[in-house]
Structure 1
């Protein structure tokens, strides 16, 4: 039996979840990866930003057609259940619960630790970064369980705050006339190069930078007038993200130059602060960056703590009868929140080990999960095309053009993920597929038992 959720979120929260989760981590520490993948070419960087963005935009526009027609809770999982089959819903639900949400939450929490260390001038040790990440994710899981109002308010606040440095750097870049800074003596110069089709590797970090829009669908049934609100949010959100990203990317290049970003990597954001605001600029910028990233941790945890509860309400996970028990005061299941929390802590430990022993060749545990999710969306895009053919969707653009472009975008992101990490990406894609298979088989088993 489906749980009835109270509608207590508005359009602003839905949009701020998309913008707030997408903007906050990737743009600050992935810009150098994108520029390196394009060989230092600014305009190729803009091109792949646009490609990655439109992959997301057409995908979100396509899924908005399912969001407006869905009567079930669970976001993308409900789209699979209602428009494909309950077994496919179970498969994707397992992937989201066991891989997608926890890996993103773990990595972004860890990044929060990195920027906290930089802000406080603490020793930059992986152990301390991970410990701080653990404390952050623990705090936000607890806060979002205890009060949905606090979680929603924090999300709205951080979305506004994080726009200040992004738009500030973008505007300053338009009028910047000073010479670019010299590289620190201990930094090796990285020259521009011709990369050919290797530029597609930039799509992996771009996919990470844009990811987050899909998390907003997890609160669909808690959004007021969701059938009209969610399609609007899923269209406006990614467009806002693209505009802000391009403006910040070009502003950052204007202030410090492509050579500095290519050579200094993540240190470039520090130099932007110094160049714009002087000696204290780095600290000031890091405060904004940290707030932005904490907004991501909050937004992802806000969505994740509901996921086990949603799957349990559909009897798609073991111990569903226990997980489904709701705390009436908070409107959430304590077992759902605890399950999500423990899975995230597990992946944080895995992330620590992969970074400690450099297992993923410079990558992290979240990138392949994100790439796999885009591949999984193809099934839903095809379903939207089917709705157009049966007359349920009248618009040719919404029912045919957008989903076809979404499918092409997903394939491009898949190619980019494989190119960026050819050694480990097949392993992680196979792992994610195996998790889906387990969920599918569990769905088959439960359906057989209920007969």
Structure 2
């Protein structure tokens, strides 16, 4: 199957809808709490962060798309980095995704799903069992094959648009509109410059998923023209939705109240529609989170499977086995187990911060790779070139470096320790790679 040439059948509309569908997930429903806690319960800098993160994401998508179009191979960022920097760094990318990014994100989604479920059930002692249980349940569904996982994804994508649309429309109709939106920027005693990095880390989780857009390049009819349009158009739509829905939140409840709710969207819905309406919206949000969780358990184990196929992971013989449905069941189970262990922390924001920090290190390497690839392989066929080169890549690189350095050095001791932990876990991949190379060669 992998050796067959990809069909160039995707047009502009398919690419645009894919961008929107892959990026809009759980973050927009839950991240306002972290945002307004960071700003001290004031709205201004939080709203600015949603716009700035959107612009960063668009420059990132436009930059990475050049690599995607020039290297239209299955495997995504791991393949790009291997092509540009060599096999060892390519492996580290896949290793980081396998042991950090995907498990931490899956765990965070399991935790937030459980927190919403217990808000309906009314028994907080069930939070961790539900978090672990939903991860293992979705993993079991994905062992039935990619067709089943894809069907779940389609249904969940449609369902997640319902609570978004209802909140955006009725927020402005039923909300008082008397709460401040842009002022003050932050609360007393808080420096805007000191917290902007933490805000961006929080908000960028809601925008994550854009890197997968570039993987469509090999299946597009006209990637040179349609890929940048899909990225700019799709991410502009996402940014518009995020800004509007956050305005709707503030139209109903002030930032100081949103900072107190782990599920601000559900709190806004309850304020608008009453307890029963709030519960219905919560169910819609649960379906959305379920779909996002399914998406990560559909794609993440494929990275683990690819590394195992390359014989670079311990236990590769087990991890490369396919079941009767031709699904990499052992890789799915292994990733779900690791994710369930992460979920025992019960910390949604901690887990998402860890995953975003880890992935953005490699995003920056991808952006730098655009410049390196132009120097090393000037004659490489590029169906798409990043516009306004080198300014767009420079913005993407500098923004990414700011996010990573701020998270590592200036965001407080706990955040620094989490970031260092992420780096250490990533670097553990180096002796594993060397060991496996010696063992299998």
TM-score by length of 1: 0.82
Judged with a 3 Å threshold, the aligned counterparts in structure 2 of structure 1 residues 227 and 324 are, in CA distance, closer, same or farther, namely: farther
Number of aligned pairs?
425
Residues 1:197 and 2:193 aligned together: yes
Per the alignment, residue 51 of structure 1 pairs with 52
Per the alignment, residue 312 of structure 1 pairs with 308
Judged with a 3 Å threshold, the aligned counterparts in structure 2 of structure 1 residues 321 and 16 are, in CA distance, closer, same or farther, namely: farther
Q: Which moved more, 1:128-137 or 1:4-13?
A: 4-13
> 1 CA distance for matches of 2:387 and 2:151?
35
* Cα deviation 1:151-201 (Å, max 9, x = unaligned): 2222222222212222322233444464779xxxxxxxxx94353313312
Per the alignment, residue 187 of structure 1 pairs with none
Residues 1:437 and 2:427 aligned together: yes
Judged with a 3 Å threshold, the aligned counterparts in structure 2 of structure 1 residues 130 and 236 are, in CA distance, closer, same or farther, namely: farther
Residues 1:366 and 2:352 aligned together: yes
Per the alignment, residue 36 of structure 1 pairs with 37
> 1 CA distance for matches of 2:229 and 2:312?
30
Q: How does 1:403-442 map to 2 (within 5 A)?
A: 403-418=393-408, 421-442=411-432
> 1 CA distance for matches of 2:72 and 2:175?
55
Judged with a 3 Å threshold, the aligned counterparts in structure 2 of structure 1 residues 281 and 266 are, in CA distance, closer, same or farther, namely: same
Judged with a 3 Å threshold, the aligned counterparts in structure 2 of structure 1 residues 107 and 450 are, in CA distance, closer, same or farther, namely: closer
* Cα deviation 1:125-145 (Å, max 9, x = unaligned): 3xx111111221112112222
Q: Secondary structure at the match of 1:332?
A: coil
Judged with a 3 Å threshold, the aligned counterparts in structure 2 of structure 1 residues 10 and 162 are, in CA distance, closer, same or farther, namely: farther
Correspondent of 1:150 among 148, 161, 166: 148
**Aligned 8 A contact 1:110 1:133 in 2:** yes
Judged with a 3 Å threshold, the aligned counterparts in structure 2 of structure 1 residues 238 and 420 are, in CA distance, closer, same or farther, namely: farther
Per the alignment, residue 203 of structure 2 pairs with 206
> 1 CA distance for matches of 2:42 and 2:238?
21
Per the alignment, residue 183 of structure 2 pairs with none
Instruction: List runs of 5+ in structure 2 lacking aligned partners.
Output: 180-185
Correspondent of 1:325 among 312, 321, 325: 321
Per the alignment, residue 123 of structure 2 pairs with 123
Judged with a 3 Å threshold, the aligned counterparts in structure 2 of structure 1 residues 420 and 131 are, in CA distance, closer, same or farther, namely: farther
Structure 1 residue 368: Cα displacement: 2.2
**Aligned 8 A contact 2:146 2:327 in 1:** no
> 2 CA distance for matches of 1:13 and 1:109?
29
Per the alignment, residue 100 of structure 1 pairs with 101
> 2 CA distance for matches of 1:315 and 1:399?
38
Structure 1 residue 113: Cα displacement: 0.9
Structure 1 residue 150: Cα displacement: 2.4
* Cα deviation 1:393-450 (Å, max 9, x = unaligned): 5846264222211112212322553478521333333332233323234434555667
> 1 CA distance for matches of 2:164 and 2:249?
9
Per the alignment, residue 334 of structure 1 pairs with 329
> 1 CA distance for matches of 2:221 and 2:425?
30
**Aligned 8 A contact 1:388 1:396 in 2:** no
> 1 CA distance for matches of 2:434 and 2:221?
30
**Aligned 8 A contact 2:357 2:404 in 1:** yes
> 1 CA distance for matches of 2:309 and 2:2?
7
> 2 CA distance for matches of 1:249 and 1:420?
27
Judged with a 3 Å threshold, the aligned counterparts in structure 2 of structure 1 residues 395 and 70 are, in CA distance, closer, same or farther, namely: closer
**Aligned 8 A contact 2:67 2:80 in 1:** yes
Residues 1:254 and 2:240 aligned together: no
**Aligned 8 A contact 1:117 1:123 in 2:** yes
Judged with a 3 Å threshold, the aligned counterparts in structure 2 of structure 1 residues 195 and 322 are, in CA distance, closer, same or farther, namely: same
> 1 CA distance for matches of 2:171 and 2:105?
31
TM-score by length of 2: 0.84
> 2 CA distance for matches of 1:420 and 1:142?
41
Structure 1 residue 21: Cα displacement: 5.5
Instruction: List runs of 5+ in structure 1 lacking aligned partners.
Output: 182-190, 356-361
Judged with a 3 Å threshold, the aligned counterparts in structure 2 of structure 1 residues 333 and 176 are, in CA distance, closer, same or farther, namely: closer
Q: How does 1:128-147 map to 2 (within 5 A)?
A: 128-147=126-145
> 1 CA distance for matches of 2:17 and 2:139?
18
Residues 1:345 and 2:346 aligned together: no
Per the alignment, residue 363 of structure 2 pairs with 377
Residues 1:238 and 2:235 aligned together: yes
> 2 CA distance for matches of 1:98 and 1:330?
25
**Aligned 8 A contact 2:308 2:316 in 1:** yes
Q: Secondary structure at the match of 2:74?
A: coil
Judged with a 3 Å threshold, the aligned counterparts in structure 2 of structure 1 residues 319 and 369 are, in CA distance, closer, same or farther, namely: same
> 1 CA distance for matches of 2:318 and 2:228?
33
**Aligned 8 A contact 2:57 2:207 in 1:** yes
> 1 CA distance for matches of 2:117 and 2:410?
28
Per the alignment, residue 182 of structure 2 pairs with none
